[in-house]
């Protein structure tokens, strides 16, 4: 069965960077795009960007341009999302989620990773 297993919760200082991982299994890793979506406490879903695990190409949402980097490791079927220059407003649950087309909403989602930014 399809599984997206994310890394554990993180507590970060303002100004630091965080790197969240998402390990995929149960399907052909390079055949599906991977989105990153975040959700601040009590708020809605916010799309951050997408990576094509096949070639590594990325598209980032304008709000995160220059601060987010998405990468992948095909040998371990893992995608990564690194967010830099963290501020308190970045406190959120970060989800990875796959889709077959880059224009589709995701079908399967990871369990989420809570990133807390606090001094």
Partner 1 sequence: QSALTQPASVSGSPGQSITISCTGTSSDVGNYDLVSWYQQHPGRAPKLLIYEVNKRPSGVSNRFSGSKSGNTASLTLSGLQAEDEADYYCCSYTGSRISFGGGTKLTVL
- 92-99 vs 33-39, strand pairing mode: antiparallel
Query: How many amino acids of this chain bind partner 1 (CB under 8 A)?
Result: 22
| Interface with partner 1 (CB under 8 A), residue from 21, 22, 32, 35 | 35
Per CB under 8 A, which region of 10-18, 40-48, 66-74, 79-87 contacts partner 1?
Answer: 40-48
Shortest spacing between CB 106 and partner 1, in angstroms:
7
In this structure, what token pair is assigned to residue 105? 């909403």
Site for partner 1 in 49-108 (CB under 8 A): 49-50, 59, 61, 95, 97, 103-108
Nearer to partner 1 (CB atom), residue 35 or residue 72: 35
CA nearest neighbour of 41 among 84, 6, 90: 90
Nearer to partner 1 (CB atom), residue 6 or residue 78: 6
| Interface with partner 1 (CB under 8 A), residue from 37, 79, 83, 92 | 37
Rounded distance between C-alpha atoms, residue 100 and residue 94, angstroms: 20
Exposure of 71 by Cβ count < 10 A (0-12 exposed, 13-18 middle, 19+ buried)? Answer: middle
Cβ atoms of residues 30 and 19 within 8 Å? no
- Three-class SS of residue 90? helix
- Can residue 1 be called a binding residue for partner 1 (CB under 8 A)? no
- Can residue 109 be called a binding residue for partner 1 (CB under 8 A)? yes
């Amino acid at each position: 069965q399809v599984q997206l297993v994310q890394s554990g919760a993180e507590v970060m200082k303002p100004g630091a960077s965080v790197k969240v991982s998402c390990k995929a299994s149960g399907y052909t890793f390079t055949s599906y795009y991977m989105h990153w979506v975040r959700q601040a406490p009590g708020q809605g879903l916010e799309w951050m960007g997408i990576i094509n695990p096949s070639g590594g190409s990325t598209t980032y949402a304008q709000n995160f341009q220059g601060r987010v980097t998405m990468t992948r490791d095909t040998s371990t079927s893992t995608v990564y999302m690194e967010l830099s220059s963290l501020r308190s407003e970045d406190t959120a649950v970060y989800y990875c989620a796959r889709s077959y087309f880059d224009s589709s909403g995701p079908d399967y989602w990871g369990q989420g990773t809570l990133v807390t930014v606090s001094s």
